Amino acid sequence: MNEKKTGKSIKALTGNEAAAYAMKQIDPDVVAAYPITPATEIVQIFSDYVSNGKVSTEMILVESEHSAMSACIGASAAGARVMTGTSSCGLALMWEVLYVAASTRCPIVMCDVNRALSGPINIHCDHSDTMGARDSGWIQIYSENTQEAYDNLIQAVKVAEDPSVRLPTMVMFDGFIISHSMEGIEIASDETVKSFVGPFKPVRWLLDTDKPYTFGPLDLQDYCFEHKKTQSEALKAAKPALLKVSAEFEKTFGRKYGLFETYKLEDAEIGIVLIGSTAGTAKDIIDELRAKGKKVGLLKIRLFRPFPAEEIRDALKHLKVVGVLDRYESFSDAGGALYQETRSALYDLTVRPKIHGITYGIGGRDITLNDINQIFQTLEDAKTGKELPPVSYLGVRE
């Protein structure tokens, strides 16, 4: 494909390479980062762009992930467009300052490569890192594949910086499964991406000496509650903002996104709900089962925070059985967050589907075509009257 004529090209990239390439095209003012497997490549590749003069970014190399996010907050407060990347224990080390970034309304964009939290030490994919940070006040956008990782990172900048939102945003994709696997994806020209994200327009910044203000003050009983409520309202505003940005993205880039993706769900009787790369495996099995006359479908979450409960309820309410897959252990003895929140979304229906939670893939354990087939068979049994436990574990050795 001729990039000069079309403004697009096809490149074979890993998820990490695609994320770094998107960052290059966005050309943020500041990137502060610390390396961690399997996300190290993102900022490592980006550092080459900095060294070779491909971007105008100020790159800050720090001594820890806590320091990385602290530097991001400082740069954002000073009026810069800021990005970073991390994974797993790196995200956990940022825990304290994740809340500071959200509470002070810093529109930082972070790429997190999903990896299991220790211990035992594990460098492979599950969603325990970002699920643990789900209530930190950050917008959370998940990706199925390399194309979505690239597209979501570009869109995240506009969502985070939307005047009605002004909140930090995480873009996630599965460690090694996506981060280190190569796919052919459609890349836009630098000029197209730059034009789409537009220039950064800070609302207030510490270096604006004509309008001084206090940043991150002590906030006790008198106003903390009210400030948290306004922060919550900003997070709610992220949902329409994301839909608006997605519509603009479709007009410019030709690829359509929403709050979630449905696959052959409209006339289905049995559906599964999940996050991330497993959706690709599920689509193959759905095609096979559809060919055999089975009415099955999929709902793949894109936006997890804020959780689009009303829209998910409308998409699932006609089903007879729903299986919800969580790729982490919540230690709640009541299933993972995706299961709990999907179940909550369906609760107010007068007639609602049977719902079953499935914990799978912890520590990077593969989920195969046979596994997905087994899930649908289990849900088929439930449709015909078999009682299932609220939550089960898939592929674990007892």
Do the domain assignments include residue 120?
yes
Q: In what order do the strands lie in the sheet with 296-301?
A: 260-263, 296-301, 270-275, 321-326, 354-359, 391-393
Pairwise CA distance, residues 128 & 115, whole Å: 7
CATH number of the structural domain spanning residue 36? 3.40.50.970
Sequence-ordered list of residues with C-beta below 8 angstroms from that of 51, at least 6 positions apart, any chain = none
The dihedral built from the CA positions of residue 377, 178, 68 and 141, taken in this order, carries a sign that is: negative
> Do 24 and 90 share a domain, yes or no?
yes
In a domain? residue 398 = no
Q: What is the Cα–Cα distance from 200 to 209, expressed in whole angstroms?
A: 19
The last residue of one of the domains, among 204, 235, 253, is 253
Q: How far is CA 286 from the centre of its chain?
A: 24
**Residue 139: inside a domain, yes or no?**
yes
Domain count, the chain: 2
pTM of the model: 0.97
- 142 shares a domain with 28: yes
Q: At what angle do helices 65-77 and 95-103 cross, to 10 degrees?
A: 10
- Specify whether 101 is located in the same domain as 228: yes
Query: Do 209 and 301 have their domain in common?
Result: no
Whether residue 21 is found in the same domain as residue 59: yes
Select from 232, 253, 274 the last residue of a domain. 253
Read off the DSSP letter of residue 116.
P
Q: Closest Cα to residue 42, out of 7, 69, 81, 15?
A: 15
- Half-sphere exposure of residue 82: CA atoms within 13 angstroms, side-chain side: 26
Sign of CA dihedral 12, 16, 17, 19: positive
DSSP designation for 258? -
What is the distance of C-alpha 235 from the center of its chain?
A: 15
Are 198 and 294 contained in the same domain? Answer: no
* Residue 135 sits in the same domain as residue 180: yes
CB 179 within 8 Å of CB 16:
yes
Q: How many CA atoms lie within 13 A of 52 on its CB side?
A: 8
Please report how the helices 278-291 and 369-383 are oriented relative to each other, as an axis angle in degrees rounded to 10: 60
In the block, which residue shows the tokens 């922060």?
A: 231
Whole domain around residue 268: which residue ranges? Answer: 260-393
Residue 209 within a domain? yes
Q: Can you give the pLDDT at residue 213?
A: 87
16 and 103 fall within a common domain: yes
Same domain (yes/no): 248, 269? no
Q: Which residues pair with 79 in a beta bridge?
A: none
Report the alpha-carbon distance of residue 340 to residue 15 in Å, rounded. 29
pLDDT in tens, the chain (398 residues): 444 444 789 999 999 999 999 999 999 999 999 999 999 999 999 999 999 999 999 999 999 999 999 999 999 999 999 999 999 999 999 999 999 999 999 999 999 999 999 999 999 999 999 999 999 999 999 999 999 999 999 999 999 999 999 999 999 999 999 999 999 999 999 999 999 999 999 998 999 999 998 888 899 999 999 999 999 999 999 999 999 999 999 999 999 999 999 999 999 999 999 999 999 999 999 999 999 999 999 999 999 999 999 999 999 999 999 999 999 999 999 999 999 999 999 999 999 999 999 999 999 999 999 999 999 999 999 999 999 999 999 999 98
Judge if 215 and 118 occupy the same domain.
yes
- What is the residue-wise DSSP string for 228-257? HHHHHHHHHHHHHHHHHHHHHHHHHHS---
Instruction: Give me the CATH number covering residue 314.
Output: 3.40.50.920
- 50 and 107 part of one domain: yes
Domain boundary among 191, 219, 253: 253
Whether 137 and 222 share a structural domain: yes
